[in-house]
Amino acid sequence: MKFLAEMFSIAPANKDHHPAIRCAVGIFVPLLTLVLLDRLDLAIFASFGAFAGIYGRGEPHATRFVVQLRAGALMLLVILLAAFTARAAPAWGIDAPAAGWLLVLATTLVAGSCSVTIAWLRLRPAGSLFHIFAFAAIASVPHQPPLWQGMLVAVLTTALSLVIGFSARILPGHRSPWVWPAPIRRTAGERRAAWLEGFGYLVAAGLAGSLATLAGQWLGFGHAYWAMVAVVVPLVGHTTVHRVRRGVQRIIGTVLGLALLAAILLLGLSPWQTVLVIALCQFGAELFIARQYVLAQLFVTPLALISTLLVVPASPTVLLRDRIIETLIGAAVGIAVVLAPALWRRLRRV
């Protein structure tokens, strides 16, 4: 009962609407611009470039700028590698099944390396969930726009997020001292923990991606990288119970989010209305992500899928089916990875 109570409890607000507004504006302005330019093929680059605004949410302005600059640079590198990976399979004449396995391998390497980098830079949110999502989503787009155009949109969107991050300094009541953060000094324990965490992300992402790919080839569904995104959710947390709870919350929130997505799709929105919905979902996700993970997933699920539909139109029914199946696979594998060390220690004692 305590486990269930904590799963559906909500933490008190801590000015969460401030970062929520920043993130919503940071994604709304670039996407609306692309709608006006009739270049929605570049929307995915703008969506992930805006992820820089997610970092440093409660930091003073100078620290937030440095944190978002580091996070943005790492995300731009991931986007660039994803664009190259998307072009690799056609250039090398790789067929679709082999290309799927190549994507799993490349995304697994991104999961481990970005996890270590995030820990090394002490960025929050921790982990490489956003980088897994960005890399695999962009690398999965079949018809890539010109590389320089995609990267230009990503760089400009990242720059906009940085500007929005310290824009509140124009208001005297919100201004914080502009003091540069001290250099990062890592202890031996922190370095060891970063490498161990990276190894955990590597194993979990590789296992989830492989199982999802095999199941997809057998049962006829796709988007295996969604399982790789879901699998790392339980890896973030200070205790085993907290991590398992996040995995279960991911499943519950995804189911509720899919119901909301179905209702949104029934409205038959125009492109600019779709962009507005994306911004509202981004606002809702950031409003609750630090307070109640189920509520946050209620907005994250339609946010992710609508962003995908903007670039790669597909059957909504197929997307809903793939999302729930891949989430179940990923969350189950993630919970198993979290529980495995404790079970192993118990078996050794026995």
Quick check: 320 pLDDT over 90? no
Note whether 71 and 27 are within 8 A (CB). Answer: no
Angle of helix 17-36 relative to helix 147-166, nearest 10 degrees?
150
Give the pLDDT confidence of 69-89 residue by residue, as tens digits. 999 999 999 999 999 999 987
Q: Is residue 319 part of a domain?
A: yes
Q: Is residue 342 part of a domain?
A: yes
pLDDT at 283: 94
More confident residue, 105 or 240: 105
| Backbone dihedral region for residue 122 (phi beyond 0: left; psi -120 to 50: alpha; all else: beta) | left
In the chain, % of residues over pLDDT 70: 97
Domain that holds residue 31: 14-177+189-349
pLDDT at 314: 74
Quick check: 129 pLDDT over 70? yes
Q: Is residue 9 part of a domain?
A: no
Quick check: 96 pLDDT over 70? yes
Q: Is residue 273 part of a domain?
A: yes
Quick check: 1 pLDDT over 70? no
Quick check: 234 pLDDT over 90? no
- Report long-range pairs for 175-184 (Cβ below 8 Å, ≥24 apart): 175/61, 176/60, 176/61, 176/62, 177/60, 177/62, 178/61, 178/62, 179/60, 179/62, 179/63, 180/62, 180/63, 180/66, 181/62, 181/63, 181/66, 181/67, 184/120, 184/121, 184/122
Quick check: 6 pLDDT over 80? no
Q: Is residue 182 part of a domain?
A: no
Q: Is residue 3 part of a domain?
A: no
Question: What is the rounded average pLDDT of the residues 111-120?
Answer: 95
- Sequence-distant (≥ 6) Cβ neighbours of residue 118 within 8 angstroms: 74, 126, 127, 128, 131
Q: How many other CB atoms are found less than 10 A from the CB of residue 302?
A: 25
Q: Is residue 2 part of a domain?
A: no
Q: How many other CB atoms are found less than 10 A from the CB of residue 317?
A: 10
More confident residue, 7 or 224: 224
Quick check: 224 pLDDT over 70? yes
Quick check: 157 pLDDT over 90? yes
Note whether 338 and 244 are within 8 A (CB). Answer: yes
Give the pLDDT confidence of 277-297 residue by residue, as tens digits. 999 999 999 998 888 888 898
Give the pLDDT confidence of 26-63 residue by residue, as tens digits. 999 999 999 999 999 999 999 999 999 999 888 888 89
pLDDT at 280: 94
State the pTM of this model.
0.91
Q: Is residue 183 part of a domain?
A: no
Considering its fold, how many domains does the chain have in total?
Answer: 1
